[in-house]
Amino acid sequence: MKTLRIALIGTGFMGRAHSHAWQTAPRFFDLPHNVEMAVMVGRDPQRTAAEAARLGWAEASTDWREIIQRDDIDVIDICTPGDTHAEIALAALAAGKHVLCEKPLANTVEDAERIAAAAAAVPDQVALCGFSYRRTPALALARRLIEEGRIGRVRHVRAQYLQDWLSDEDAPFTWRLDRELAGSGALGDIGAHSIDTAQWLTGSQIVGVSAALRTFVETRPERDGVVGLGGTAALDAPRRRVTVDDAGAFTARFADDAMGVFEFSRVATGRRNANRIEINGDRGAVAFDFERMNELEYYDASDEGHRQGFQRVQTTEAEHPYMKAWWPVGHGLGYEHTFTHEIVDFVGAIAGAPTGPDFSEALHVQRVLDAVEESARSDSRFSAVKGITS
């Protein structure tokens, strides 16, 4: 069996989530290739060496350019902020590597176009974007039900992605609040997940939007310690200007004429990571909330009237997507499993079983983000998504 040698760039939240997944995937799933966790790449030599050792990487480095040029590396896993994705992904593709790139694909449509074009030019190299929620068994089941026609023709898509880690106006400044580094705020950070999930579940692209974006807190104190997505800051710390949105909403028109309503916020008090979607068709509906990630609600309009209603499916049966590899029925999964499944699918794709989202799908998400910003700038005027392919 072939062995893939992996280099992962970034030692933060996603660096740790992906490291865990690279460790776990070959231990719980029968992968078509061996994987070897070769190098973790960071910026600070000491911190990177410590994280690499702790998370199971054979080597640590602070020079991603040098690592990408090495012949003994097959895969580059990009877990850094969006401002770095284009440069790293382009270099990795040019060097003949398979690439897993965190979402959103880039900070601008122009960069996303360059990355997608470079990937399209090397079809033997797998290029996957990390929209990890697709790998939640309940959402994968929802997709299966929709593909089988169980909810009929889709009319409504209703998606919300709500967090509250920025609701305190003294929550510190991080790269996620800097447009230069993050591209946008709640929109690209979490709204992008809803866009990808909605298009993937329905099999239909968003073709136009009418949007509004808001920044409720204009300045935030410099961070002095990292905790979760935010951290700590002294009350008298200098404040920096926030250059991205805190929250937003848009209505969407889909290519197949379904209508969508999307809302995303990092200041939705009380909602920690409520990534929700409900899709209503003419024969039924599905509903999901990541805060109850082991459940899918399913409604079948053909049930007899006296027993009609949403049924709660616990997605822990062996026949549910990805579940055969895990625990006895009823013993649920967590956030980290979505990344393990992403690695399973990525390695499967390298062995010839295609999976998505490839970079052209991720580019379309980027174009929707762009249309949302354009509409928000023009007082919510309808904005067509550019470059529709189907």
Ligand X SMILES: NC(=O)c1ccc[n+]([C@@H]2O[C@H](COP(=O)([O-])OP(=O)(O)OC[C@H]3O[C@@H](n4cnc5c(N)ncnc54)[C@H](O)[C@@H]3O)[C@@H](O)[C@H]2O)c1
Among 40, 76, 79, 323, binds ligand X (CB under 6 A): 79
Among 4, 14, 159, 287, binds ligand X (CB under 6 A): 14
Task: Compare residues 174 and 280 and give the one whose CB is closer to ligand X.
Answer: 174
Closest CA to 10 of 71, 97, 70, 100: 100
Task: Compare residues 196 and 263 and give the one whose CB is closer to ligand X.
Answer: 196
Among 26, 31, 35, 42, binds ligand X (CB under 6 A): 42
Residue 351, Cα to own-chain centre: how many angstroms?
23
Compute the least distance from the CB of residue 182 to ligand X, in Å. Answer: 7
Contact by Cβ (8 Å): 284, 150: yes
Contact by Cβ (8 Å): 317, 323: yes
Compute the least distance from the CB of residue 103 to ligand X, in Å. Answer: 6
Compute the least distance from the CB of residue 37 to ligand X, in Å. Answer: 16
Among 24, 80, 202, 275, binds ligand X (CB under 6 A): 80
In degrees, rounded to 5, the angle at the alpha carbon of residue 17 between the alpha carbons of residues 130 and 138 is 60
Among 5, 12, 212, 251, binds ligand X (CB under 6 A): 12
Contact by Cβ (8 Å): 260, 129: no
45 binds ligand X (CB under 6 A): no
Contact by Cβ (8 Å): 321, 310: no
Among 19, 24, 84, 163, binds ligand X (CB under 6 A): 84
Among 4, 6, 7, 15, binds ligand X (CB under 6 A): 15
130 binds ligand X (CB under 6 A): yes
Specify which residues 83 forms β-bridges with: none
Task: Compare residues 150 and 193 and give the one whose CB is closer to ligand X.
Answer: 193
- CA–CA dist 388, 390 (Å, integer): 6
Among 19, 108, 125, 132, binds ligand X (CB under 6 A): 132
Among 6, 10, 199, 370, binds ligand X (CB under 6 A): 10
- Backbone φ/ψ region at 359: left (φ over 0), alpha (ψ -120 to 50), beta: alpha
43 binds ligand X (CB under 6 A): yes
Task: Compare residues 103 and 341 and give the one whose CB is closer to ligand X.
Answer: 103
| 163-202 footprint of ligand X as x/- string (CB under 6 A) | --------------------------x-------------
Residue 195 neighbours by CB under 8 Å, 6+ apart: 159, 206, 262, 365, 368, 369
- CA–CA dist 281, 12 (Å, integer): 40
Closest CA to 382 of 243, 252, 234: 252
Q: Which of residues 46-75 bind ligand X (CB under 6 A)?
A: 64
Compute the least distance from the CB of residue 80 to ligand X, in Å. Answer: 4
Q: What's phi and psi for 211, nearest 5 deg?
A: -135, 160
Compute the least distance from the CB of residue 154 to ligand X, in Å. Answer: 24
Q: Where are the beta strands (DSSP E) in 256-305?
A: 259-265, 274-281, 284-289, 295-300
Among 57, 74, 81, 230, binds ligand X (CB under 6 A): 81
Q: At what angle do helices 359-377 and 109-120 cross, to 10 degrees?
A: 170
Total residues binding ligand X (CB under 6 A): 20
| 225-244 footprint of ligand X as x/- string (CB under 6 A) | --------------------
b/e map of 58-83 (b: 16 or more CB within 10 Å)? eebbeebeebbeeeebbbbbbbbbbb
Residues that bind ligand X in the complex, under the rule CB under 6 A: 9-15, 42-43, 64, 79-82, 84, 102-103, 130, 132, 189
